[in-house]
Chains A and B, each alone.
Chain A
Amino acid sequence: MSLEKKVGAALFEVIDPELGINIMDLGLIYGITVDVENNVKIIMTLTTPGCPMHDSIRNGVKHRINQIEDIGDIDISLVWEPAWTPAKISDRGKEMLGFG
């Protein structure tokens, strides 16, 4: 499995504490790139600007990726464009939230 896929799989274990579902199914991760030195860049968003869980979720992403073997530096960019919309939730996420 490529490192990018390992990072993606690991992020399924980071749960949004308010909604109780993982941030991948919630559609918060916009991009995962890994360079030749195994440095990871994550581009992500949150469901609403000013989300009080900002620091917690960002830390969660960092901590979880850190647990992957041979990982280099981790750079997390939080972006608001394009804005998160419910359309970004996966079918499984919609089911978990009760509107699938």
Chain B
Amino acid sequence: MQSNTSIKLPLAFILYALTAFVASQLILFINNDVLTTGQFRIPDIWMGAHFLVLGYAVMIAMGAMYQLIPVALLAPIWSQAFGFIQFIVTAIGITVFSLLLGVSPDHAFYGGIIAVAGIIMFIIQMLVTILKQKNKNMMTAFILGAISCLFLTIAAGFVLAWNLAEGRITSHGAILSSHITLGVSGWFTLLIFGFSYKLVPMFSLSHGFSMKWAKPAFLTYISGLLILIGSFWTKTQFIDSIGWFVLLAGFFFFVLDIREILAKRLKKKLDKPFSFSLIAIINGLGVHVLAFVFSFYGIQEVAVWGWLIFLYVMGWIIFSILGYLYKIVPFLWWTYKYSNKIGKEQVPTLREMINETYSVILFTLFIFSIAGLSIGGLLYINIMVYVFQGLLALASLLYMLSIIRVLTK
């Protein structure tokens, strides 16, 4: 089975996403004084957060899915032409929506409509593709779960944007919490779980592993999501703690499988960017432990949970994506440039397409920035937030340049 997607499609998503990533970090850097106070619910932060989560993470996930679905599910993408139209609609929608959230939140709803249309087009594309898959497996379940959460996230987001304009719904807080949970924990986590079952063995050359925890991980994580969301609506602290505990158990089951895959790997020396994606898994587990502990002890400070969500997004989701992207982009470009030259002349290996030493410096910079930023934020130390958000913006810019550099090889 080949990756038969035109590389222009995933690359379009990835390049847009990297631009949005840098934009988000610059917006957050400019507003570092607000970050220090732990007040995340202001228009400029909404703009930065949506450029980060929608513009960067969702667009990267979509681009990566166009590339990885044929690999993971052994089924070709339904329609590439539809994919290009979907890219244009979604890119316009997310840009307009994020900008309006910052400059005119009352009108953000209109940008949201275009973004939602683009995301629904993506969901249709993926559902038709999955329908064509001959042998459904656990990866199909994770991807379907992720897509369902994406749909519910945008439905909840749509209601939120509408409520910002109309203000008729009183349970705005419960919808907002459900929106964040479904988007961050549901869509991204289930997606990374699913693809990890294909990518981790592929990049570590692992064979003979069982995936015995995949089903328990899927069912437990989905149950955790439902319980946690239930707690937002019933406003019950006890249910909230159970929800986080079940989510932690689901994440732990996934970690057990990844541990077995890595134990049975043949490639003892792993590529550095890929190792970074594996570090993200440890971060993810750590954040789940913290969330459960905070919930269990009834810690409800908005600033603490705000920074925990930040750690969840950056330490788990964004780190995973940053690491995998260092494998995906060189592959895309290599396929475009050298696929027809292999066997005819000397061609570089994928590893030679990137500078590993540079990637280690960059990833270390990311780790320091996130750690410093979280500590500075939680302790309300202005200068730390300023310095480390600046460092994070710089790391993001350098990361984008390093990816663009691959395209010159």
Instruction: Indicate whether A82 reaches chain B with its CB closer than 8 angstroms.
Output: no
**Interface 1/0s, chain B 244-269, versus A by CB < 8 A?**
00000000000000000000001111
Choice from B1, B72, B202, B269 contacting A54 with Cβ under 8 Å: B1
List the A side residues contacting B203 at CB < 8 Å: 18
Which residues of A are interface residues toward B (Cβ below 8 A)? 13-15, 17-20, 47-52, 54-57, 59-67, 85-86, 89, 97-99
List the A side residues contacting B339 at CB < 8 Å: 55-56, 59
Q: Are A63 and B3 in contact (CB under 8 A)?
A: no
List the A side residues contacting B71 at CB < 8 Å: 50-52
List the A side residues contacting B269 at CB < 8 Å: 98
Q: Are B205 and A17 in contact (CB under 8 A)?
A: no
Closest chain A CB from B66 CB (angstroms): 12
Known: A49-B1, A54-B1. A63 touches B342 (CB 8 A): yes
Q: Are A59 and B202 in contact (CB under 8 A)?
A: no
Choice from A18, A62, A99 contacting B268 with Cβ under 8 Å: A99
List the B side residues contacting A47 at CB < 8 Å: 202, 205
Closest chain B CB from A83 CB (angstroms): 9
List the A side residues contacting B205 at CB < 8 Å: 19, 47, 86, 97
List the A side residues contacting B266 at CB < 8 Å: 86, 89, 97, 99
Q: Are B342 and A48 in contact (CB under 8 A)?
A: no
Q: Are B202 and A60 in contact (CB under 8 A)?
A: no
Instruction: Indicate whether B234 reaches chain A with its CB closer than 8 angstroms.
Output: no
Choice from A18, A63, A86 contacting B349 with Cβ under 8 Å: A18
Within residues 280 to 339 of chain B, which ones have a CB less than 8 A from any CB in chain A? 331, 334-335, 338-339
Q: Are B74 and A17 in contact (CB under 8 A)?
A: no
Closest chain A CB from B270 CB (angstroms): 11
Interface centre among B1, B203, B344, B348, by most A CB within 10 Å?
B1
CB closest residue in chain B, given A62: B343
Given contacts A56-B338, A63-B344, 13 further A-B contacts (CB under 8 A): A15-B349, A17-B349, A18-B203, A20-B349, A47-B205, A49-B1, A50-B1, A50-B73, A52-B67, A56-B339, A59-B342, A85-B208, A98-B269
The distance in angstroms between the C-alpha atoms of A52 and B74, with both chains bound, is 10
List the A side residues contacting B74 at CB < 8 Å: 49-50
Instruction: Indicate whether B83 reaches chain A with its CB closer than 8 angstroms.
Output: no
Q: How many B residues, CB 8 Å from partner? A: 36
Closest chain B CB from A82 CB (angstroms): 13
Main secondary structure of the interface of B (DSSP, over half): loop
Instruction: Indicate whether B207 reaches chain A with its CB closer than 8 angstroms.
Output: yes
Q: Are B343 and A60 in contact (CB under 8 A)?
A: yes
Instruction: Indicate whether B405 reaches chain A with its CB closer than 8 angstroms.
Output: no
List the A side residues contacting B208 at CB < 8 Å: 85
Q: Are B343 and A63 in contact (CB under 8 A)?
A: yes
Closest chain B CB from A25 CB (angstroms): 13
The distance in angstroms between the C-alpha atoms of A19 and B202, with both chains bound, is 10
Closest chain B CB from A88 CB (angstroms): 10
Q: Are B1 and A17 in contact (CB under 8 A)?
A: no
Q: Are A50 and B198 in contact (CB under 8 A)?
A: yes
The distance in angstroms between the C-alpha atoms of A20 and B208, with both chains bound, is 22
The distance in angstroms between the C-alpha atoms of A98 and B205, with both chains bound, is 12
The distance in angstroms between the C-alpha atoms of A14 and B344, with both chains bound, is 9
List the A side residues contacting B348 at CB < 8 Å: 17
The distance in angstroms between the C-alpha atoms of A98 and B295, with both chains bound, is 45
Q: Are B342 and A85 in contact (CB under 8 A)?
A: no
The distance in angstroms between the C-alpha atoms of A83 and B118, with both chains bound, is 40
**Interface 1/0s, chain B 192-225, versus A by CB < 8 A?**
0000001001110101100000000000000000
Q: Are A56 and B342 in contact (CB under 8 A)?
A: yes
Q: Are A86 and B207 in contact (CB under 8 A)?
A: yes
CB closest residue in chain B, given A20: B349
Interface centre among A52, A97, A98, by most B CB within 10 Å?
A52
The distance in angstroms between the C-alpha atoms of A66 and B267, with both chains bound, is 32
Within residues 335 to 372 of chain B, which ones have a CB less than 8 A from any CB in chain A? 335, 338-344, 347-351
Choice from B207, B343, B351 contacting A64 with Cβ under 8 Å: B343
| Contact sample, A vs B, 22 pairs, CB 8 Å cutoff | A14-B342, A17-B338, A18-B331, A20-B349, A47-B205, A50-B1, A50-B70, A50-B71, A50-B72, A50-B73, A50-B74, A51-B71, A52-B67, A52-B71, A52-B331, A55-B339, A56-B342, A61-B343, A67-B343, A86-B205, A98-B268, A98-B269
